[in-house]
Amino acid sequence: MACISVQGLTASYSKSKILDNIDLEFIQKKVTAIVGPNGSGKSTLLKAIAGSMKPDQGIVHINGQNMHSLKKKELAKILAFLPQSPETPKDITIEQLVSYGRYSHQNLFKNTKFEDKKIIDWALQATDLIQLSQSSMSELSGGQRQRAWIAMALAQNSDCLFLDEVTTYLDIRHQIEILNLLKSLNQEKSKTIIMVLHDINHALHYSDYIVVVKNGKIFAHDCIESIVENKVLENVFKVKFKVLYDENKKPFIVSNELIN
């Protein structure tokens, strides 16, 4: 069942077309990675389907509803979007930033403070920030700031999580920690995860489906097995890949040879 469908999506920046007439469906309660060469339109695609930018043409439906007909608060309950380089507010603590994720759940007629605090603390714990919760955002390293933004997205507690280059600035331990967390949210809480990933092996290991973008078009959208077997990634990146399998029969690739 598709929770998000895209029809005829075209988007541009400064009259330069980035996405061209894209049709796409994302499967509910699955993890989908968006990959592709630099400048192919991955981030623009994520922004357009998350409602962060208005496309030139096309329609995005979420759970059967036109995204642009939804109020911001309604949309925020359905999806949380974390862009690649969010602008960090000055002079606020990590806990204050994470609390912004609860905005869509607050109600003038109902006291939600206890539930909000419970979820905020969970998000801080899940991102290994509970000990730093009162630290100012301006004092943090790039990786710590990234985890704070991830915590805010988690605190939103939406059905769908949209994440653009979520592992940016993170050391290898926290990359794995965050990706494991996202996979567990998918498996245990049935969250739909859609994320742009730079690391192909992360995409292969953590995703159920991969969308491959090339020159503003969808080159492929399929399950991991089909993407690997049909050598889709070799054709797009023009690199010769050797496919190996780990102890859980998950594929991973190694390469040092270009395809001319």
pLDDT at position 158: 93
Residues 164, 84 contacting (CB under 8 angstroms) = yes
pLDDT (tens digit per residue) in 56-89 = 999 999 988 999 888 888 898 899 999 988 988 8
Contact indicator for 135, 148 with CB cutoff of 8 Å: no
Residue 92's pLDDT is 94
This prediction's pTM: 0.92
> Would you tell me how many other CB atoms lie within 10 Å of the CB of residue 57?
13
Give the pLDDT confidence of 131-150 residue by residue, as tens digits.
Answer: 999 999 999 998 999 999 99
Q: What is the mean pLDDT of the chain?
A: 92
Confidence band (pLDDT; 50, 70, 90) for 110? Answer: low
pLDDT of residue 41: 97
pLDDT in tens, 151-183: 999 999 999 999 999 998 899 999 999 999 999
What would the pLDDT profile of 177-222 be if each residue is shown by its tens digit?
999 999 999 999 999 999 999 999 999 999 999 999 999 999 999 9
Torsion from C-alpha of 6, 103, 42, 60, nearest 10 degrees: 10
Checking if the pLDDT of 106 tops 80, the result is: no
pLDDT at 109: 45
Q: What are phi and psi of 41, to 5 degrees?
A: 110, 15
User: Beta-strand (E) ranges in 36-139?
Assistant: 57-62, 65-66, 79-82
Domain 2-85+158-258 - what CATH class? alpha beta
Q: How far is CA 202 from CA 50, 62, 136, 211, 217, in A?
A: 22, 26, 31, 14, 22
Domain extents for the chain? Answer: 2-85+158-258
